[in-house]
Amino acid sequence: MKKFRLYILSVALPFALAILVGISPLPLRTDLQNLVFDNYQRLSPRIYDPASPVRIVDIDDESLKRYGRQWPWPRTQLAAFVDFLKQHGALAIGFDFLFAEPDQMGIGELIRSQPREQALARIAEELDKNGTYDEAFARSLAAAPVILGAVLVNGTSEANSGEPMGETQPLLPVKSGFSHAGDDPLLFLRGFQASIAPIKLLADRAAGIGALNWVPDRDRVIRQVPLLFGLRGEIVPSLAAEALRLAQEEGASYFVKSSNASGETAFGAQTGVVAIRIGKLVVNTQPHGDVRVRFTRHDPRRFIPAWKLLDNEVDPAEIENKIIFIGSSAAALGDMVTTPLDASVPGVEIHAQLLEHILDGESLVRPDIADGVEMVAMIVLSIIMMLVLPFVQSLVAAFIGAVCVTALCAGSWWAFTQKGLLLDPVFPSLSAGAVFLAGVLALYGMKQSQERHVRQAFGRFVSPAVVQRLAEHPDRLILGGENRELTLLFCDLRSFTTISEGFDAHGLTRFLNEYLTPMTDVVLDHGGTVDKYMGDAIMAFWNAPLDDPDHARNSAMAALAMRAELAKLNARWRAEAEAEHRAFPKVRFGVGLNTGICCVGNLGSARRFDYSAIGDDVNVASRLEGATKVLGVDIAANGATREEAPELAWLEIDKVVVKGKSLPIVAYALVGDEEMAKSKRFTALAELHEAMLEAFRCRAFDKALQFAEEAAALAPAEIAGLYAFYQARIHETVEAMPGDDWSPVLTLEEK
């Protein structure tokens, strides 16, 4: 019963978390759903129908090239568009532009490249004949079913039009009637506080005014397009909605059906807009009055280049009985948006695709019951996993779960392709998968409880790798060891006594834990075994208990990673000290590396032993760590380690006799990894360094000093002290006036 309770508790936690996520409106879940539904659209996009009654007059790059690169064009040019489209039977003409300021191009067109007197005469003649360019445009608007664009704003930077911004105003001119049934639609429509509208001369003549706003998702992708907006207590149609209205009989209006209307039982809950009737056409919507569009891929066939209109090269059938949007795909105008199918399409194409979607009778909705259906699917699938797992093998349970998930995905795909319904199969599948994983882990844990007990007991004394080996081979629980080649690492903090004086006992413990934890992680992540901690010092080794053919390289890379971790810790400790207005002494360490034959194994007594390494090469590694204090480097290694990893960036320090030894060893400073070894800066540094050593050993002390100074300018901060050490050593050697028996070997008297 105890094991059964543990199993129930293990699967109940992810199950409860899944239910909590399911009932919470988390943005992450919405993003996941969008990812699924976007891929559905990519796999099965709406196919563009060339017979569609929607076209776009595109002021593209070629049109700007032919008829003037400067935008906006004179409004007489746009008036010519309207006249041409009206003459050829366009049902509605929507401008995806904002005419918020008077025309600025008319006077410029008249006086360009003309003497002043002739220009004034031309201006007077033109004004007497046709009025201003805005007046000419207004006359064309009055004679055609034209919709002008407006932008709704809550601030000064919310408009998405590339046109110059005019002054904001509270309301827009009303061009159509609105009525509703059920809850007030303004409770649900996306609301704004002001608008940037066309100038009054144009707005009064236009048959319709439509909002140009987009409402992209968090990832800036447009998936749903509003048909209506709210503006200070008034309903405002979108550009596409107005185009659809004007394309029908004269006097068409809007009727909004919301929750709790006749036939829409919401049990008193205000759930949102259900449908919008535009003229005689009923459009089912999402709660905010928007339509989730089933897009086609960008198709040039829905575009009519503006230059073809101006050159009268357009097939009249492309205009007659069509709804025409006038917009731009020109890169210079910057009106580009992202859809689930295309990373960049002209904004005007969204209006066109919305109307195509509506007129084709397409439906792409997430029904009100979708969350409930997905929750039920998640609960059922999770319970199946809970009940099946204790009685069958994990692979069988996984197969059953895979069958259920496949059925969910197939049902979701069928609902999308056949019914236009958006049902998410991923959330129930992931939730059930989490329950399955928790159950498998719990069952595995129960089956392995005895082994875990052994591991926990011995894990107090030996490393996890040794525990694993002992669990597999209990016969090795005896005293003794073996001789094998190891690479050893000693790491010790510099001036730890000074650092500890700044902490009380609790603070010092916290400091050491913060330091030792990442350093230990680095050792383990690079395949090493931590032998012991000695206060602030760490001893570790590689190539035991498990074989590691790259043990020298791995130890060197671990030392470099420890250097990087210490830099991060220093940055954090400095920030904490500054926040607490206290001094911060920079923390430094020294690392010694040595490769050699050691005795490694279970060392201690019959009742208490540790897995450790002993031998002369252990002492050498410790002495090299101590030598870093004198040599001015943070990582020093014996030549044996360097020979095992020659591709790294090494610099020879000198032949050194460490304390307790009579024979010299060749010590090297570890500067960096392979990338640094290949860099031009390190190559130049290595050449200067070799020249310095050669000059020093040949008694050319002046040259050696010069090379040391030049190398110091190229050296990274971690080894900059090496050249200060050599400069001081050279000066001391010169002052001592060495005789013929002088040897460049460095003898260290300290540990």
Q: Tell me: the pLDDT tens digits for 224-271?
A: 999 999 999 899 999 999 999 999 987 789 999 998 887 666 556 788
Task: Compute φ and ψ for 330, nearest 5 degrees.
Answer: -65, 135
pTM: 0.56
Least confident of 376-380, 446-450, 547-551, 650-654: 446-450
Closest alpha carbon to 593 in 489, 702, 699? 489
**Percent of the chain at pLDDT exceeding 90:** 51
Could you count the other beta carbons within 10 Å of the beta carbon of residue 671? 23
Q: Please report the pLDDT score of residue 235 as a whole number.
A: 94
Q: Given a cut of 50, is residue 519 above it in pLDDT?
A: yes
The pLDDT of residue 406: 92
Most confident by average pLDDT, 425-434, 440-449, 566-575: 566-575
Q: What is the mean predicted confidence (pLDDT) over 160-173?
A: 62
Cβ pair 688, 709 in contact under 8 A: no
**Residue 727: pLDDT band with limits 50, 70, 90:** very high
- Structure confidence at residue 453 as a pLDDT band (50, 70, 90): very low
Q: What is the pLDDT of residue 112?
A: 54
* CATH number 3.30.70.1230 is the correct assignment for the domain at 478-747: yes
254-258 and 234-237 strand pairing: unpaired
In this prediction, residues 123-142 reach a mean pLDDT of: 73
Q: For residue 296, is pLDDT > 70?
A: yes
Per-residue CA distances from 111 to 79, 105, 731 (Å): 21, 10, 84
Helix (H) or strand (E) holding 303: strand 303-305
d(CA 342, CA 333): 19
**Winning range, highest mean pLDDT, from 71-85, 324-338, 357-371, 620-634:** 620-634
* CA nearest neighbour of 569 among 533, 634, 517, 528: 517
Residue of 398 and 670 predicted with greater confidence: 670
CB 100 within 8 A of CB 166: yes
pLDDT per position as a tens digit, 392-436 = 888 888 888 889 899 999 999 999 999 889 998 988 888 888 888
685 confidence band (pLDDT: 50, 70, 90): very high
pLDDT value for 455? 57
Which of 633, 582, 605 has its CA nearest to residue 480? Answer: 605
Q: Residue 185: which pLDDT band, with cuts at 50, 70 and 90?
A: very high
The model's confidence at residue 297, banded by pLDDT at 50, 70 and 90, is very high
Task: Please tell me whether residue 159 adopts helix, strand or coil conformation.
Answer: coil
Provide the pLDDT for residue 398. 87
DSSP 91-153: SEEEEEEE--S--SSHHHHHHTTS-HHHHHHHHHHHHHHH--HHHHHHHHHHTS-EEEEEEEE
Summarize pLDDT for 526-540 with one digit per residue, the tens: 988 888 899 899 999
Confidence of residue 77 (pLDDT cuts 50, 70, 90): confident
Per-domain residue ranges of the chain: 2-42+368-447, 54-359, 478-747
Query: Residue 747's pLDDT band (boundaries 50, 70, 90)?
Result: confident
| Range with lowest mean pLDDT among 6-20, 40-54, 503-517 | 6-20
- Residue 460 CB burial class (10 angstroms; 0-12, 13-18, ≥19): exposed
User: What span, in angstroms and rounded, lies between the C-alpha atoms of 330 and 71?
Assistant: 11
- How would you list the strands of the sheet with 273-278, edge to edge? 178-181, 254-258, 273-278, 281-284
Q: How far apart are CA 357 and CA 225, in angstroms?
A: 11
Q: What is the pLDDT of residues 142-153, one digit of tens each?
A: 989 999 999 999
Most confident of 99-108, 372-381, 476-485, 563-572: 563-572
Better-predicted residue by pLDDT, 623 or 370: 623
Q: How confident is the model at residue 164 (pLDDT cuts 50, 70, 90)?
A: very low
Average pLDDT along the chain: 86
Looking at the predicted structure, is the pLDDT value of residue 111 above 60?
A: no
| Helices and strands: H and E segment counts in the chain | 25, 28
Least reliable range by pLDDT among 69-73, 438-442, 470-474: 470-474
| Six token digits for residue 23 | 């009932």
Report whether 466 contacts 611 (CB < 8 A).
Answer: yes
Kindly list the distances between the CA atom of residue 531 and the CA atoms of 222, 297, 460, 607, in Å, as whole numbers in the listed order.
Answer: 58, 63, 13, 19
Q: Residue 437: pLDDT band by 50, 70, 90 thresholds? A: confident
Q: Is 233 left (phi over 0), alpha (psi -120 to 50) or beta?
A: left
* Average pLDDT estimate for 681-693: 95
- 706 vs 438, which has greater pLDDT? 706
Tell me the pLDDT tens digit for each residue of 280-292: 999 999 999 999 9
Query: Does residue 97 contact residue 77 with C-beta atoms inside 8 Å?
Result: no
How far lies 739's CA from each of 3, 243, 536, 699, in Å? 82, 102, 43, 11
